[in-house]
């Protein structure tokens, strides 16, 4: 979603009035079983996917069946979950320079997806396809993109002002539609941080590809989880940071 706004565009010594397209930001307040959980700055579309993906990828619920009801109205989301499914022992807010997220104390487990590999040409094709899908970004410059791929094409694509949110929307849509993660690839336009690697591991995704950079801790986690981490996938090149055996 976008809005129009009159701006002054400056080029050299020249100034000109123009109409610019601005990405819309919503502060979504999430309540879990009537208790305030968190507020997320996000784009105002696909909020059911966002909330479902957020609750799952942050370890607050184990499965989509744990969510009994989601009701969204006037900037608030009311989620009802089975009490027995709310298994996070401790939650704390952390910041990563892109919104607010939760982490839970859970045992680290390596990704157990069946082994599959893709070619370097597939990596570059998928990033070109995501670029072509990113119409909102080309219009506003104010959103991130994320996608889920089977290695040959993008099967789910979402955008949001937050890179974590875009990924959570992809995860949530996959869960709601019953799409398995085990033989899929996560695509993102944004920086690969440790939280994104952790979300991927939670979903049993074994390959992450981004057109941006990973952080040092993201690489460390990917090495542990046995996730193939690809960054700077642009034009005709990319970097493989760990577990290169899946790119053949």
Provide the β-strand partners of residue 149: 154, 185
Q: Tell me whether residue 226 is exposed, middle or buried, using C-beta atoms within 10 angstroms of its C-beta: 0 to 12, 13 to 18, 19 or more.
A: middle
CB distance 172 to 186 below 8 Å? no
Q: What does 111-164 look like in DSSP terms, one character per residue?
A: --PPP--B-HHHHHHHHHHHHHH-HHHHHHS--EEEEEE-SSSEEEEEEESSHH
Instruction: Compute the distance between CA of residue 20 and CA of residue 245 in angstroms, rounded to an integer.
Output: 45
Coil, strand, or helix at residue 199?
helix
CB distance 177 to 158 below 8 Å? no
Q: Tell me whether residue 42 is exposed, middle or buried, using C-beta atoms within 10 angstroms of its C-beta: 0 to 12, 13 to 18, 19 or more.
A: buried
CA neighbor of 65 nearest in space, from 84, 50, 90: 84
- Tokens 């940071």 belong to residue: 241
Residues identified as active-site: 98
């Amino acid at each position: 979603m976008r809005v129009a706004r009159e701006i002054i565009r400056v080029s050299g010594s020249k100034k000109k009035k123009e109409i610019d397209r601005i990405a819309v930001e919503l502060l979504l307040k999430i309540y879990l079983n009537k208790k305030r959980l968190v507020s997320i700055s996000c784009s105002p579309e696909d909020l059911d996917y966002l909330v479902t993906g957020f609750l799952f990828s942050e370890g607050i619920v184990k499965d989509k069946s744990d969510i009994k009801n989601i009701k969204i109205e006037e900037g608030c989301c009311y989620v009802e979950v089975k009490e027995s499914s709310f298994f996070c022992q401790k939650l704390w807010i952390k910041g990563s320079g892109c919104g607010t997220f939760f982490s839970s104390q859970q045992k680290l487990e390596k990704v157990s997806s069946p082994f599959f590999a893709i070619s370097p040409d597939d990596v570059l094709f998928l990033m070109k396809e995501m670029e072509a899908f990113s119409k909102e970004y080309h219009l506003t410059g104010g959103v991130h993109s994320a996608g889920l791929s089977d290695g040959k094409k993008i099967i789910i694509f979402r955008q949001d002002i937050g890179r974590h949110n875009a990924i959570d929307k992809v995860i949530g849509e996959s869960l709601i539609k019953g799409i398995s993660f085990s033989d899929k690839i996560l695509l993102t336009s944004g920086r690969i941080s440790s939280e994104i690697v952790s979300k991927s591991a939670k979903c049993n995704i074994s390959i992450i590809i981004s057109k941006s950079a990973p952080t040092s801790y993201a690489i460390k986690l990917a090495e542990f989880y046995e996730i193939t981490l690809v960054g700077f996938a642009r034009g005709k090149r990319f970097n493989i940071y760990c577990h290169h055996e899946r790119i053949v």
